[in-house]
């Protein structure tokens, strides 16, 4: 049977934008109704263990049960999230490649990007033009940015004191990059990350070699000649030790980088997330680390039960 369709009943709402980002530890704890602290999921009778991954607070696991939080049956309860506090913070595996690139481009002495400050400002000017929709002008600047001499248009003059305000105001209503803007912005980001500079062009100090033998591991290597040169120039010896960098140590370095290079760092994170996110402010580097894991509601991860009622493998 053919359905009758009336044009005046057609949907008129459209989706303006869709964006994705990462929850902070504070946001996860705020939305969580239960801290998971017990390794067992179900007891010998197949019932959920309090504090386990199927704690009743995160929603019923059987159709005839009601939710302990909202009181609704399984068919009506949307479920509730829990969380797991990690024993120690770890690197966010999804953003580890970007994190590694940031560390490799950062000076460990002055905690700025190793390229000239004027060149970083030129990259920022390009990104601001792209965000305003002036892609043609941004492309015209490309030759000046990639060359040895950087030329910045007076209209795009950079002001350290107003950088955060300028970035937040540059795009008043837009929440996310358009596909064209994101494509152009990523091309700028690729050029920015591709430059490998050993000696910082700002403080003129040599920097250690940063490598990652495996995902989630960052190693730092100071050569003897580099250490002698940096000590002579005034850098403390205790700041130059080779070995593996712990997430807490990397976070400390990034916090200083964000303080010294807030606008470029914010752009890098926003391009990575494909959206504009001003909520983190000067702590945008927190997306590279994980202290808490969000546990989805029970209904989205039903338990696998054996014939004897125990949880399956």
**Sequence-distant contacts of 150-155: CB under 8 A, at least 24 apart:** 150/116, 150/118, 150/119, 150/121, 150/122, 151/122, 152/118, 152/121, 152/122, 152/125, 153/125
Q: Look at the block and give the residue holding tokens 């969580």.
A: 32
d(CA 127, CA 264): 9
- pLDDT at 54 (0 to 100): 93
- pLDDT at 55 (0 to 100): 94
Say if strands 218-221 and 82-91 run parallel, antiparallel, or are unpaired. Answer: unpaired
Q: Which helix (H) or strand (E) holds 253?
A: helix 247-260
Residue 101: Cβ-neighbour burial (10 angstroms; 0-12, 13-18, 19+): middle
d(CA 81, CA 32): 5
Residue 130: Cβ-neighbour burial (10 angstroms; 0-12, 13-18, 19+): buried
H helices then E strands: how many in the chain? 9, 6
CATH assignment of 18-81+296-313, given 2.40.37.10, 3.40.50.10490, 4.10.860.120, 1.10.1040.10? 4.10.860.120
- Chain-centre distance of CA 103, in angstroms? 14
- pLDDT at 166 (0 to 100): 46
Contact of 257 with 265, CB cutoff 8 Å? yes
DSSP string, 276-296: ---TTGGGGGGGGEEEEEEE-
- pLDDT at 167 (0 to 100): 46
- pLDDT at 309 (0 to 100): 43
Q: What is the side-by-side strand order in the sheet with 82-91?
A: 34-35, 82-91, 289-295
Tokens representing 169 are 């105001």
Q: Tell me, what DSSP letter sits at residue 118?
A: H
What stretch(es) of the chain map to CATH 4.10.860.120? Answer: 18-81+296-313
- pLDDT at 210 (0 to 100): 92
Q: The whole model's pTM is what?
A: 0.75
Largest CA distance in the chain: 88
d(CA 38, CA 101): 37
- pLDDT at 241 (0 to 100): 72
- pLDDT at 211 (0 to 100): 92
Q: Tell me, what DSSP letter sits at residue 311?
A: B
Contact of 65 with 77, CB cutoff 8 Å? no
- pLDDT at 218 (0 to 100): 95
d(CA 265, CA 113): 10
d(CA 260, CA 268): 14
Contact of 176 with 276, CB cutoff 8 Å? yes
- Running along the chain, 313 residues long, what does each successive block of 10 average in pLDDT? 54 66 89 94 88 93 87 88 95 92 92 93 90 85 58 44 46 63 86 84 89 92 72 61 89 94 86 63 84 93 62 50
Short-list 291, 242, 226, 297, CA closest to 74: 297
Secondary structure class of 254 (helix, strand, coil) = helix
């Amino acid at each position: 049977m053919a359905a009758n369709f009336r044009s005046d009943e057609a949907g008129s709402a459209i989706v303006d934008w869709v964006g994705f980002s990462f929850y902070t530890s504070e946001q996860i704890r705020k939305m969580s109704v239960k801290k998971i602290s017990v390794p067992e999921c179900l007891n010998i009778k197949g019932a959920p263990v309090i504090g386990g991954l199927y704690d009743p607070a995160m929603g019923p696991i059987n159709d005839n049960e009601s939710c302990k939080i909202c009181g609704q049956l399984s068919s009506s309860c949307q479920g509730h999230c829990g969380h797991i506090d990690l024993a120690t913070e770890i690197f966010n595996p999804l953003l580890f490649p970007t994190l590694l690139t940031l560390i490799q481009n950062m000076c460990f002495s002055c905690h700025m990007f190793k390229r000239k400050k004027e060149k970083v400002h030129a990259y920022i000017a390009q990104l601001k033009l792209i965000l305003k929709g002036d892609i043609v002008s941004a492309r015209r600047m490309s030759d000046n940015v990639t060359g040895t001499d950087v030329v910045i248009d007076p209209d795009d003059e950079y002001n350290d004191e107003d950088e955060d305000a300028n970035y937040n105001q540059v795009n008043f209503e837009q929440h996310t990059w358009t596909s064209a803007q994101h494509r152009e912005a990523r091309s700028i980001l690729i050029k920015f990350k591709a430059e490998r500079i050993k000696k910082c062009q700002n403080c003129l100090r040599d920097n250690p070699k940063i490598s990652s033998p495996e995902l989630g591991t960052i190693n730092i290597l100071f050569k003897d000649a580099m250490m002698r040169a940096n000590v002579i120039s005034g850098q403390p010896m205790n700041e130059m030790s080779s070995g593996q960098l712990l997430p807490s140590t990397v976070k400390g370095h990034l916090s200083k980088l964000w303080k010294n290079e807030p606008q470029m760092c914010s752009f890098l994170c926003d391009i990575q997330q494909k959206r504009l996110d001003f909520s983190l402010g000067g702590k945008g580097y927190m997306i590279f680390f994980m202290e808490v894991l969000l546990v989805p509601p029970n209904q989205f991860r039903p338990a696998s039960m054996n014939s004897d009622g125990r949880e399956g493998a």
